[in-house]
Amino acid sequence: MARRLEESVGHKNEALETGGRGFLMRSEITHDEHPLSLGKTSVWNQFFQETEIIEQIERDVKRTHPDMQFFCGDSSLAKSNQEALRHILIIFAKLNPGIRYVQGMNEILAPLFYVFRNDPDQNNAVYAEADAFFCFVELLSGFRDNFCQKLDNSVVGIRSTISKLSELLKKHDGELWRHLEITTKVNPQFYAFRWITLLLTQEFNFVDSLHIWDALLSDPDGPQETLLRVCCAMLILVRKCLLAGDFTSNLKLLQNYPQTNINHLLYVANKLRGSSAG
């Protein structure tokens, strides 16, 4: 576009030098090159969209685990780690135009980068950014449909995944399922959406999240099936409180899950193995 503008200026100068009369020549700008164009192929529209995504990434990166000096603060380490997270998320968004960046992806990336960056072997730790990017792409390849809004109502979208969790609970604890979804009308989307899309990173402290992720990523059934079993086990562990509660109290409980013994949670989830819904 800059070259075309320069050429246009050159043509104008030529017209003036030859003593041309009348209106100056006007640079022709196509619809896709117009700054206000909303066309999918518009370079300006793409620029503004990418700028908006980058700004969202920067805001989310700054909010990543504010209680941890590793991620937040004025230290050179924190700033360096934030910059690495920013690089990974921006590159992922550019390489995956169908998904781009969805708010919360920073919470999924954080545990991966933390583990690689704290490798006791410094020869490995220096490659934390590259290693975290590779694993982030691999991990999201199994969950990417949950982030694609166009697939929300499909058989592979987030609503379908939440329905599988509902069926799993119905199979293992019909009484609790009826009380939640029929009696108190607590739609599982009200709490399970965050559980599933953010892989439980917001329901437990960072150390407990790493413990749960060890189970998710090492399970031969794959992280998706294991995640649903863990979510179902979370419901079963607080069934007494849920059965005694109404819509308001149950929703508050599930959106602010209480502190629990992670080893026991994983034990209960493992007992559900082999009988996952659909």
pLDDT in tens, 157-213: 789 999 999 999 999 999 999 999 999 999 999 999 999 999 999 999 999 999 999
Give pLDDT, residue 152.
Answer: 63
Q: For each of the domains in the chain, give its residue range(s) and CATH number, in order of start.
A: 44-145 (1.10.8), 149-272 (1.10.472.80)
Mean pLDDT of 51-60: 92
Residue 54 has pLDDT above 80, yes or no: yes
Task: Kindly tell me if the per-residue pLDDT of 18 is higher than 60.
Answer: no
The string of pLDDT tens digits covering residues 77-124 is 999 999 999 999 999 999 988 888 999 999 999 999 999 999 999 999
More confident site: 6 or 108: 108
Which position has the higher pLDDT, 82 or 18?
82
**Pairs from 54-63 (Cβ < 8 Å, separation ≥ 24):** 54/90, 56/101, 56/103, 57/86, 57/89, 57/90, 57/93, 57/101, 57/106, 58/86, 60/89, 60/103, 60/104, 60/105, 60/106, 61/85, 61/86, 61/89, 61/106, 63/106
Query: Mean pLDDT score of the chain, rounded to an integer?
Result: 86
Q: Does pLDDT of 9 surpass 90? A: no
